[in-house]
Amino acid sequence: MIKLENISKTYRTRSVETLALDKINLEVKRGEFVSVMGPSGCGKSTLLNIIGLLDEPDLGQLQLEGNLITGYEDKKTAGMRNHLVGFIFQSFHLIKELDVYDNVELPLLYRKMPAAERKKRVIASLEQVGLSNRMNHYPSQMSGGQCQRAAIARAITGEPGIILADEPTGNLDSKVGQEVMNILTDLNKAGTTIVMVTHDESLAKETHRIIRLFDGRLVG
């Protein structure tokens, strides 16, 4: 499903070069729920960004669903992101000017999909995360847990094969965080591959596998 071969990424400023990822070799099978752990600055988010085609590695190869990613041409990678990947962020990153319905509908707008089909999928996603009654609410009118559930609905509405979650419970209390984790677990049971960055060891233990990063390298 996801295959990284010798992936390296260096961030350069005028005076400093930072090796974010150093020859990462990693494979995530279809249907796996993998957590990525490590200290701050070890390259976890960079790893997620590269898998999610938001960033381009300096060296190495990436394969998603059997597709070898080359060239990183804008339109092509945007299309692949739209169809293959769903993102969940620690800060939710809901568009505050749009209500929940419009936020969840966002990925579908970048596909050629009839409005009726979009509506069906959005409603289904919101039902799945238990937010059907909040469709017309704005992010500012909801709690953190509700916002994250809306973000999950947005991530799954396009039925991507891969969910990339960057500390999805980081801004939530433990009870709400567990609720979110339960939703992710249910998604995984339904067949979605999930790669989750987390600092929470207890949540990581609920996943199939823990990948540990240190200074841009896989350890353990």
Given the complex with another protein, which of 29 and 111 has the nearer CB atom?
Answer: 111
Rounded to an integer, what is the distance from CA 34 to the centroid of its chain?
12
Given the complex with another protein, which of 37 and 197 has the nearer CB atom?
Answer: 197
Residue 210 in tokens: 């823990």
Given the complex with another protein, which of 166 and 200 has the nearer CB atom?
Answer: 166
Closest contact distance (angstroms) between CB of 166 and another protein is 5
Site for another protein, rule CB under 8 A: 45, 49, 52, 54-55, 74-75, 78-79, 81-83, 86-87, 89-95, 97-98, 102, 105-107, 109-111, 154, 158, 166-167, 170-171, 197
How far apart (Å, rounded) are the C-alpha atoms in residues 72 and 53?
Answer: 8
Strand order in the sheet with 59-64: 17-28, 2-12, 59-64, 67-69
Given the complex with another protein, which of 160 and 207 has the nearer CB atom?
Answer: 160
How far apart (Å, rounded) are the C-alpha atoms in residues 161 and 85?
Answer: 6
Closest contact distance (angstroms) between CB of 55 and another protein is 5
How far apart (Å, rounded) are the C-alpha atoms in residues 87 and 90?
Answer: 10
Closest contact distance (angstroms) between CB of 92 and another protein is 8
